[in-house]
Amino acid sequence: MAADAIVIGAGIVGAACADELARCGLKVLIVEAGEIGGGATAAGMGHIVVMDDSEAEFALTHYSARLWEELADELPSGAEYTAAGTLWVAADDEEMAEVRRKHSFYAQRGVRTEILDAQDLEQAEPNLRKGLAGALFVPADAIVYPPRVAAFLVECACRNGARLERGRRIHNMAELANATALIVNATGASAPALSPGLDIQPRKGHLLITDRYPGFVRHQLVELGYLKSAHSIDEDSVAFNVQPRQTGQVLIGSSRQYGSSDPAIEHRMMKRMLERAALYMPSIGRLSAIRGWTGFRASTPGKLPYIGRSPRQPNVWIASGHEGLGITTSLATAKLLADQILNRQPAIPLEPYAPNG
C-alpha cells in the first residue's frame, strides 16, 4: 500500500493527526520509534485546560477542549476522562484581582466560570491551607490519562485503514523516499532533528505521584502565581499544580527548566516543587509517594505550537511545539492540520500557528 500521508511520532499529537487524516479517507502510515504515547505524552499531567495568555492560545485550547467533550463518550475507561474542573487558586488580594480579570475574560468568550471566596475554597478543597484568598473555578476543564488516549487514537486510525510501524526511527526525511506522500513531523521536542531550523527547545519538568488517597484533592488545583513562574524564560521555576487521579492517587507538579536534556531527576528541583506544594497543602507531606519522573515539553519562542506546512521542506507538515499544553491542544491540532491539507475551512484562524522554520 502506498501511503498518502506518513505521520512520524505516535505521541498524542501524531496519534490525533493520524486519526483525523485516516477518518478523512487518506491512507496513513504511522512511524513510531518507541512506544505509542511513550514520549512527553506519558510524562504529562493530562490536564485539559482552557488558557487565556493570548487570544491565539485561548482560541486553540477552547476549540480543543470542546473537541475533548465530544470525544469523551467514545473514550475507553482506561483513558480516565474526568470533568473535575480547574481551581485557579489565589493566595492574596492581588491574585484575587487576577481571578476577577480571568472571570470576565472567559465570560466575554462564552466560558462559564465561578469566583470562589476564601470560605467557598475551604469547602471545595479542605486540604488547602487556611487563609488563601479564593479561586476561579472552571467547571468544564477535565483530566485524562494521555498515553491511553494516544493508543486509542492510533486504534481508531488503524480501523480506518492506517498502518503502524513501531520500533522504526526516522533519521532523515530522505529515508521516506515516497515522493507522493505528505509527511507530518509530530515528533514533539525532537522535531528539529528531522526539520532543521525549527525553533523548539526542550523544557524539562518534574512530577511525582502518591499512593491512593481518594478525596484528598477533588479538582485540578493550580496556583495563580503559576502564570508568573511559567513565563520567566531564564530561570528554573516551580509551581503548585496538583491533580486528583481516578485511582485516588495525587499527581504533584511541576517544574520548568531550560538547558537540560538529561532526564534524570534533580533532587534540588523535586525538593523545590514539593516545598511549593506543601506551602499550599501542608498535609501533602504526610502522603506516601510511589514514583517520580521527568519529561520534556517542546517549547517555542511564541508560546504557541507549530501547525502547518514547513517553509523549508517540501511535502512536510509540522505538528510540534506544544509546550505544556499538548494534551489539551492535540485534538484541535489534528483538525487544523487536516483543514490545511484538505483545503477545508478551519474553525479558528491558522496564522498564529504557522511554523517559523
Partner 1 sequence: MPQTADVRINGKEFTVAEGTSVAAAVLNAGYSMRTSIHGEPRAALCGMGICYECRVTIDGCQHRKSCQVLCATGMEIETT
Query: Which residue lies nearer to partner 1 by CB, 126 or 263?
Result: 126
Cβ contact 199:311 at 8 Å: no
Residues between 14 and 33 that touch ligand FAD (CB under 6 A): 14, 31-33
Q: Which of residues 90-119 bind ligand FAD (CB under 6 A)?
A: none
Nearer to partner 1, 269 or 277 (CB): 277
Q: How far apart are alpha carbons 42 and 49 in whole angstroms? A: 18
User: CA torsion angle for 203, 89, 56, 190 (degrees, to 10)?
Assistant: 20
144 close to 327: Cβ distance less than 8 angstroms? yes
Q: Which of 94, 117, 175, 211 binds partner 1 (CB under 8 A)?
A: 211
Shortest distance (Å) from residue 123 CB to ligand FAD: 25
**Spatial separation of the C-alpha atoms in residues 129 and 91, rounded to whole Å:** 10
**Binder of residue 212, out of partner 1, ligand FAD, none (CB less than 5 to 8 A by kind):** partner 1
Taking CB under 6 A as the rule, does residue 198 contact ligand FAD? no
Q: Which residues contact 85 (CB under 8 A, 6 or more apart)?
A: 137, 138, 139, 140, 141, 142, 219, 220
Q: In what order do the strands lie in the sheet with 28-32?
A: 163-166, 28-32, 5-8, 182-185, 316-320, 306-309
Please identify, using beta-carbon distances, which residue of 151 and 325 lies nearer to ligand FAD. 325
From 101, 286, 312, 344, residue interacting with partner 1 (rule: CB under 8 A)? 286
Among 100, 159, 168, 212, contact with partner 1 (rule: CB under 8 A): 212
Task: Single out the residue of 108, 116, 112, 102 nearest to residue 138, CA to CA.
Answer: 112
Q: Which is nearer to ligand FAD, 169 or 228 (CB)?
A: 169
Question: Looking at this protein, which amino acid is placed at residue 288?
Answer: S
Three-class DSSP category at 166: strand
Q: Among ligand FAD, partner 1, none, what does residue 355 contact (CB within 5–8 Å per kind)?
A: none
Residue 35 C-beta-side C-alpha neighbours within 13 Å? 11
User: With CB cut-offs between 5 and 8 Å by kind, which of ligand FAD, partner 1, none does residue 59 bind?
Assistant: none
| Residue nearer to ligand FAD on the CB measure, 133 or 136 | 136
User: What are the DSSP E strand ranges found in the chain?
Assistant: 5-8, 28-32, 47-48, 86-90, 114-117, 134-138, 142-143, 163-166, 182-185, 201-212, 220-223, 237-244, 249-256, 289-299, 306-309, 316-320
Residues touching partner 1, count (CB under 8 A):
7
297 binds, among ligand FAD, partner 1, none (CB under 5 to 8 A by kind): ligand FAD
Question: Which of positions 310-329 make contact with ligand FAD (CB under 6 A)?
Answer: 320, 322, 324-328
**Contact residue for ligand FAD among 41, 113, 201, 257 (CB under 6 A):** 41
List the one residue from 23, 24, 27, 34 that touches ligand FAD (CB under 6 A). Answer: 34
Residue whose C-alpha cell reads 500557528 in the numeric block: 353
CA dihedral 330, 331, 337, 343 (to 10 degrees): -170
* Interacting span for partner 1 (CB under 8 A) from 116-124, 143-151, 209-217, 335-343: 209-217
Query: Tell me, what amino acid is at 232?
Result: S
* Residue 257 CB, nearest approach to partner 1 (Å): 30
Place of cell 531564564: 234
Q: Binding of ligand FAD at residue 11 (CB under 6 A)? A: yes
- Contacting residue, 7, 47, 148, 274, with ligand FAD by CB under 6 A: 47
- Tell me: does residue 213 bind partner 1 (CB under 8 A): yes
Give the one entry of ligand FAD, partner 1, none that residue 32 binds, where binding means its C-beta sits below a cut-off of 5 to 8 angstroms depending on kind: ligand FAD
Contacts of residue 316, Cβ cutoff 8 Å, sequence gap at least 6: 173, 182, 183, 184, 185, 195, 309, 310
Residues lying near ligand FAD in the complex (CB under 6 A): 8-14, 31-34, 38-41, 43-47, 169-170, 186-188, 190, 194, 205, 207, 253-254, 295-297, 320, 322, 324-328
Residues lying near partner 1 in the complex (CB under 8 A): 211-213, 247, 286-288
